[in-house]
Amino acid sequence: MSPRLHDVPLRVAAVEDNGRYRASLETLLSHAPGFQLIGTFDAAPPALAALTGAALPWDLIVMDLELPGMSGVEAIRRVKEVSPRTAIVVLTVFEDPATVLEAICSGADGYLLKRTPAEQLLAELRSIVEGHSPLSSAVARTVLEFVRQAGGPTTTAPPGPSRLDLSDREQEVLRCLVDGLGYKQTAERLEVSLDTVRTYIRRIYGKLQVHSVAEAVSRAVRERLV
């Protein structure tokens, strides 16, 4: 999702089958500055139907993974097919690395746990505006450790960027993403414009065959591309 002007509210929807938690999300997002709540849904199919028929695109969907009828992972794939620019932040109780990686590789733009405090949750969701991919610290640590162990302590394979034809500058931008920087912070670190950063990120997406910052970071860490 491209960064937006700060005074433009994020058009957000929530998909959550737990009625009590869904109601709390509705209350939170309805009254939080910077958000325009489109609706809440107890399953993925009605959310997909509403998204497909929407007059205006949705900016963000907050989605659980354990949903009736269609899993959250499958729903993420469907959303990205219907509306690739709609960001999806998983909000769930699952923090095992395999589940996180599956969601990210399916197109999720962020992954947060339900125990995240309300104010922190809103701050993480707002960070989408700056091009961040929200990831709770506990999940990040678990996934990075999982990736390191899966990769082994040593490797004789040549580094990924030479195979993927990433330029030196594209590798620098990818490193910024792996370091958790948003578009604006990346532009500041590399002393280039935001538009230049967006151009490099589009090229990186194409070369890595990914569709989100989170997916690019996951592949970069998993394959030691930077």
Task: Determine the average pLDDT of the residues in 173-201.
Answer: 85
To the nearest whole number, what is the mean pLDDT of the chain?
Answer: 83
Instruction: Count other Cβ atoms within 10 Å, centred on residue 145.
Output: 11
Angle between helices 168-178 and 213-222 (to 10 degrees): 100
Query: What is residue 195's predicted lDDT score, i.e. its pLDDT?
Result: 86
pLDDT in tens, 112-138: 999 999 999 999 898 876 677 777 767
Phi and psi based region of residue 29 (left: phi greater than 0; alpha: psi -120 to 50; beta: remaining):
alpha
Query: What is residue 117's predicted lDDT score, i.e. its pLDDT?
Result: 92
| Domains along the sequence of the chain with CATH | 10-144 (3.40.50.2300), 157-222 (1.10.10.10)
Instruction: Count other Cβ atoms within 10 Å, centred on residue 100.
Output: 25
Of the segments 37-46, 112-121, 157-166, 180-189, which one has the largest average pLDDT value? 37-46
pLDDT in tens, 10-26: 999 999 999 999 999 99
